[in-house]
């Protein structure tokens, strides 16, 4: 392992790996009661259980991912392969993660890496249990950024976790601008993107350029701290708000 590997979570491909509703509420600073009855879109949702659980909280949630449309058996196979790969790296690089047991950090969400692994496996099981029925009801929709199969301003809130910046080596600035504009296009309210760091835990280096270009397109942005940190450096989200005059 060279120095670069030691300090970076490696993403040779974009994994089908997902988190729970509870973890989403922490890293997106969500108030579930305030979202009841609202339309919420989760983009690059993977096997996260956010949508399945959100519906049980009375939220009108919809999820988009390139792999939706595959059979549940195929998605389960993706989960098995990708979880094995991600968990192996989590174990090999504990220095990249905050746990309450390892360090007394109030923003941490898990007491141990075992707890984190179990929580994400439970999330994937919750997603897989909901998938076939949810797909028939149109809750899981196939789609690939930077294009979304959704009308303009269709959602009160749009979420996108663990795609844009954590996988920054897979995308360039032009792609990031296009993806953010597309997320903003389908939102009537805020877009929240998490985390804002790259795979090395450092702030995404193209952030200022991205924010400047979005502003030229009438999209205001703000980096907001959140009461969450598991992957080191993941304690913030990028909030996009189309300028008021653009909304009319």
Ligand X SMILES: C[S@@+](CC[C@H](N)C(=O)[O-])C[C@H]1O[C@@H](n2cnc3c(N)ncnc32)[C@H](O)[C@@H]1O
Contact positions vs ligand X (CB under 6 A): 14-19, 43-46, 48, 65-67, 144-145, 161-163
Q: H or E element: which one contains 230?
A: none
Min. distance of Cβ 113 from ligand X in angstroms? 17
Q: Is 50 or 221 the residue whose CB approaches ligand X more closely? A: 50
Q: Is 69 or 247 the residue whose CB approaches ligand X more closely? A: 69
* Residue spans of alpha helices (H) in the chain: 3-6, 21-27, 32-35, 50-56, 72-92, 113-136, 173-185, 207-216, 244-247
Q: Is 220 or 239 the residue whose CB approaches ligand X more closely? A: 239
Residue with the closest Cβ to ligand X?
46
Min. distance of Cβ 104 from ligand X in angstroms? 26
Inter-CA distances, 57 with 30, 33, 44, 54, 95, Å: 12, 8, 21, 5, 35
Min. distance of Cβ 15 from ligand X in angstroms? 5
Q: Is 141 or 219 the residue whose CB approaches ligand X more closely? A: 141
Q: Is 49 or 108 the residue whose CB approaches ligand X more closely? A: 49
Inter-CA distances, 40 with 85, 220, 225, Å: 30, 20, 21
Min. distance of Cβ 238 from ligand X in angstroms? 14
**113: how many CB neighbours lie within 10 A of its CB?**
17
Min. distance of Cβ 150 from ligand X in angstroms? 12
Instruction: Tell me the two tokens of residue 41.
Output: 């879109």
Report how far residue 25's alpha carbon sits from residue 42's, in angstroms, rounded to the nearest whole number: 12
């Amino acid at each position: 392992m060279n120095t670069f590997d030691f300090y970076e979570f490696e993403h040779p491909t974009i994994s089908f790996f997902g988190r729970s509703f509870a973890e989403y509420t922490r890293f997106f600073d969500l108030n579930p009661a305030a979202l009841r009855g609202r339309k919420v879109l989760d983009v690059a949702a993977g096997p996260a259980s956010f949508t399945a659980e959100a519906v049980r909280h009375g939220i009108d949630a919809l999820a988009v991912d390139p792999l939706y449309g595959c059979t549940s058996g195929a998605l389960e196979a993706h989960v098995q392969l990708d979880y094995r790969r991600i968990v192996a790296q989590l174990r090999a690089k504990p220095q990249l993660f905050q746990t309450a047991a390892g360090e007394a950090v109030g923003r941490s969400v898990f007491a141990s890496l075992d707890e984190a692994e179990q929580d994400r496996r439970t999330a994937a099981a919750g997603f897989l249990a909901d998938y076939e029925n949810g797909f028939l009801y149109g809750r899981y929709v196939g789609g690939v950024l930077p294009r979304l199969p959704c009308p303009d301003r269709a959602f009160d809130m749009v979420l996108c976790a663990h795609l844009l910046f954590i996988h920054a080596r897979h995308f360039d600035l032009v792609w990031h601008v296009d993806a953010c504009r597309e997320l903003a296009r389908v939102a009537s309210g805020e877009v929240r993107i998490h985390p804002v760091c790259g795979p090395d835990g450092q702030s995404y280096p193209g952030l200022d350029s991205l924010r400047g270009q979005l502003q030229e397109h009438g999209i205001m942005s703000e980096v907001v701290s959140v009461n969450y940190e598991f992957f080191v450096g993941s304690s913030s989200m990028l909030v996009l708000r189309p300028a008021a005059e653009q909304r009319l």
